[in-house]
Amino acid sequence: MLRIGLTGGIGSGKTTVADAFANHGVPVIDADIIAHELVEPGLPALESIVKAFGDNILDKKGHLKRNKLRELILVDEGKRRKLESILHPAIHNEIETRINQIHAAYCILVIPLLIETRLTDMVDKVLVVDVSKNTQIERVKNRGKLSEDEIQSIIGIQCSREERLKAANEIVTNEGTLEDLAIQIAHLHQKFQQFAST
Ligand code: ATP
């Protein structure tokens, strides 16, 4: 099965693009969703995080305080690397497990840090969702969960737009409307189906 790695900066539109492929019946595996599932109470990844970051990273019910963790890793690269060393192998394994359960011409793997984590070998093609930094900031701000400073910090630790575009085999431009996006996805869907059958 052909593996398409879908990536892009924060708020670029990865989930929106993945949903558009899912509307064509394409199976989607999302590394962010897996990362959330892996840190449920009682699971080994959460135990490793507590060992590394201390008990106060959990709320009273034993759930991970995601905002607190994000604050810590945004200002401390060592902590960020520690978290990645816990989560990335587990995410990688889970992606492979799920791929093995799918039968389709191709699948979409949403991997936000595909390029940063040098996981491009895991996929056959890299599909980048591209937007300007201003659009990224506006759209994430509109979601209302992060301040502009936090968004800027996250953009700062992600790879640059240029690096991402350099690694791309295919590019979706998400500056326009959702209809514009749907047209691009329909075209890519045909292209990936054709490519998978050759
Ligand atoms: P994150 O990196 O935070 O996971 P993402 O890359 O998955 O984000 P989305 O969640 O798909 O990005 O999109 C970010 C926001 O922008 C969402 O609120 C989404 O509804 C909105 N959005 C995406 N594409 C468009 C578009 N073409 N026009 C208007 N709004 C859009």
- Of 6, 16, 140, 153, the one to substitute when testing ligand 1's pocket (max ligand atoms within 8 A of C-beta) is 16
Distance of CA 30 to the CA centre of its chain: 7
For residue 119, name the pLDDT band (cuts at 50, 70, 90). confident
Cβ(158) to ligand 1 under 6 A? no
Residue whose token pair is 């984590």: 117
Stated pTM of the model: 0.93
CATH hierarchy code of domain 1-27+105-198: 3.40.50.300
The CA 111 to ligand 1 mean position distance, Å, reads 15
- The answer to whether the Cα torsion of 39, 44, 50, 55 is positive or negative is positive
pLDDT digits (tens, 9 = 90+) for 125-165: 999 999 999 999 999 999 998 999 999 999 999 999 999 99
What CA–CA distance (Å, rounded) separates 133 from 100? 36
Q: What is the mean pLDDT of the chain?
A: 95
Cβ(181) to ligand 1 under 6 A? yes
> In the chain, where are the structural domains located?
1-27+105-198, 35-101
